[in-house]
Amino acid sequence: MKKSVVIDRSLNAMGELLIWTDVAPEKEEDFNQWYDTEHMQERASIPGFKWSRRYHSETASRPYLALYRTDTLHVFSSVPYRQAFENQTEWSVRNFSAMFNTNRRVNAVTEISGAGTGAFVSLVCLGSDANADAALTMIDALCNEVAGVIAVRVLTPEPSLSTPLPSEDPSKRVLEPYVVVDTTNLGSADAAGAWMAARLNLTHHQHHSFRLLWDLRASDLK
């Protein structure tokens, strides 16, 4: 019998910071240089961080996605993280001003199925905790019916830690859970998102596919 999975919403859960953003086109080159030569390493080097990953989408309204895994949610209240968050570099401040329509969410992680890092991910915006709970019952079927799926997890935002960046419009701010589906190819990411959207009555605007740009593990820096 398969062990039942319950979404972990506690502060002892693994953490995952999600930054999903657009950037001014004329500042995009500097933005990518900043992420790739400073910001990824800076975050991955904070005690308690496990990895940093960057993604890009050709179709999402916000084309850039960054994900950062931590040992627990408590890491986001730690002194080293708060020091980094509250004392940004000059380059960081400049690029934060170039970002717009940004979502910053600190999430509890519930790993549901599989393991590994896919070349692509599907990010499914679930809209409600009820949909997150319903998603748990669908994962076996998703993995059986959509080829190329290698791992699935649920991210549930922690409101007290999800401090918005200045570029987020407060009137449009929605704290909703996500399903992240790691896949081997773009077609599988598209299919996985569409599969879940159809079963949860979501719109096509609520699932997006991203290509992995690169993955930096904290152990790589040691």
Tell me if 6 is assigned to some domain: no
Q: Please report, rounded to a whole number, the percentage of residues in the chain having pLDDT higher than 70.
A: 98
pLDDT given at position 1: 35
Q: Please report, rounded to a whole number, the percentage of residues in the chain having pLDDT higher than 90.
A: 85
Domain that holds residue 132: 14-221
Residue 15 has φ and ψ, to the nearest 5°, of -105, 155
* Model confidence pLDDT, tens digit, residues 191-221: 999 999 999 999 999 999 999 999 999 999 9
Tell me if 166 is assigned to some domain: yes
What number is the average pLDDT over the span 157-176?
Answer: 87
pLDDT given at position 142: 96
The CATH number of residue 162's host domain is 3.30.70.100
Tell me if 194 is assigned to some domain: yes
Query: How many separate domains does the chain show?
Result: 1
**Which of helix, strand or coil describes residue 155?**
strand
* Model confidence pLDDT, tens digit, residues 86-140: 899 999 999 999 999 999 999 999 989 999 999 999 999 999 999 999 999 999 9
pLDDT given at position 164: 87
- Place 2 in a pLDDT band, splitting at 50, 70 and 90: very low
pLDDT given at position 4: 65
**Two structure tokens written together for 219:** 């152990």
In Å, what is the CA distance from 18 to each residue of 51, 140, 159, 185, 195? 12, 25, 13, 22, 23
Tell me if 7 is assigned to some domain: no
Residue type, 2: K
Tell me if 200 is assigned to some domain: yes
* Model confidence pLDDT, tens digit, residues 133-145: 999 999 999 999 9
Residue type, 162: S
What number is the average pLDDT over the span 1-12?
Answer: 70
Tell me if 162 is assigned to some domain: yes
Statement: residue 70 has pLDDT above 50: yes
How much is the mean pLDDT over the chain? 93
Tell me if 8 is assigned to some domain: no
What number is the average pLDDT over the span 53-76?
Answer: 97
Tell me if 195 is assigned to some domain: yes
What number is the average pLDDT over the span 29-53?
Answer: 96
Beta strands of the chain (E only): which ranges? 14-23, 49-56, 64-70, 99-114, 120-125, 149-157, 178-183, 207-217
- The alpha carbon torsion through 22, 125, 84, 64 (nearest 10 deg) reads -30
pLDDT given at position 60: 95
